[in-house]
Amino acid sequence: MKQRAEPDAGVLYVVGTPIGHLGDLSPRAKALLLAVDTIACEDTRHSGQLLSSLGSTARRCSFHQHNTRTRLPQLLAELEQGRSVAVISDAGLPGISDPGEELVAAARAAGHDVICIPGPCAATTALVSSGLPSARFCFEGFLPAKGRERRERLQQISEHPCTSVLYEAPHRLVQLLDELEELCGPQRPLQVARELTKRHEQQVGPTVEAARLHFHAQAPQGEFTLVLGGAPAPRKETHDDQYWRDQLQVLIASGLSANAAAKQLASGGDRSKRELYALLHQEEPPSSTAHSSSTAIPERSDCAQSDRD
């Protein structure tokens, strides 16, 4: 298949850059950064090192949360004039807990093509190296720093049946691990990925308790991504037919019609009124006794569960 020429006029390129190991910059990303007209950087000083080492002479401008309003129209005007623009962040993929999302949305709304030159991302790198289920996962990014919002998000995460991926600053990691232990319990599967792709890359787990003990003993340093196993499926009581027959008979003996008794029991949600009513007209199995039994079976979860749950 013939590839489109890169960079092309009036196109916004979202370019992934390394999260540590400089060898992770793809040849395509490098070629693009050498040839594009303008590079919007989260921090021009930080990205300056990478760009200078490549020999990029593209015009550089800053693009971050504090100048988005003024920069957006300027970058859109460049695209309008037929210039090619790349957006990069300090590390990883722009738009993932980094600037980029608003520029992409504005460029698309203005009718410009947006092309991603994919590259490393701490969230997916941590996820696929964690050993936790990756078929379905929820990216949580950074939590609110404190207060009710933080508490509510943590509560939601603790109940989420799928794997969650979180970013956390080193000075808040121990607090987060304490909170996770309180809400998810000590045995919930957790992998803390530290300094991914760097010299001191490390994985700490496999449970919340193990990671909490580790980082209470050893002060966190570097960059951290947490991969938390999903909540175990809740267990639901289910009763056998005989139990429901007995319950129906008790209500009927108290004066309710069969119909009303079935309706009342169905309001509990375990069996429908039709199923309950039908039980009254089914023969009791010969071996049935006056005992009723109940069994606990796990409810089906919508998400893949960790085999360590």
| Binding stretches for ligand SAM (CB under 6 A) | 19-20, 89, 91-93, 96-98, 121-123, 167-169, 193, 195-198, 223-225
- Comparing every residue's Cβ against ligand SAM, the nearest one is 92
Is the bond into 206 cis (omega within 30 degrees of 0)? Answer: yes
Nearer residue to ligand SAM within complex by CB, 118 or 234? 118
CB of 96 to ligand SAM, least distance (A): 4
Do residues 158 and 183 lie in contact, with contact meaning Cβ atoms separated by under 8 Å? yes
User: Which has the closest alpha carbon to 112: 10, 7, 13, 5?
Assistant: 10
CB of 194 to ligand SAM, least distance (A): 6
Nearer residue to ligand SAM within complex by CB, 6 or 195? 195
Nearer residue to ligand SAM within complex by CB, 114 or 251? 114
Cα–Cα distance, 265 to 131 (Å, whole number): 44
CB of 201 to ligand SAM, least distance (A): 8
The runs of H, that is alpha helices, within the chain are 27-35, 44-54, 68-80, 101-109, 122-128, 147-159, 173-184, 208-217, 241-253, 258-266, 273-281
CB of 17 to ligand SAM, least distance (A): 9
Tokens representing residue 230 in the block:
């999903």
Please name the residues in contact with 168: beta carbons below 8 A apart, sequence gap of 6 or more: 142, 143, 176, 224, 225, 226
Do residues 85 and 64 lie in contact, with contact meaning Cβ atoms separated by under 8 Å? no
Nearer residue to ligand SAM within complex by CB, 123 or 177? 123
Nearer residue to ligand SAM within complex by CB, 18 or 206? 18
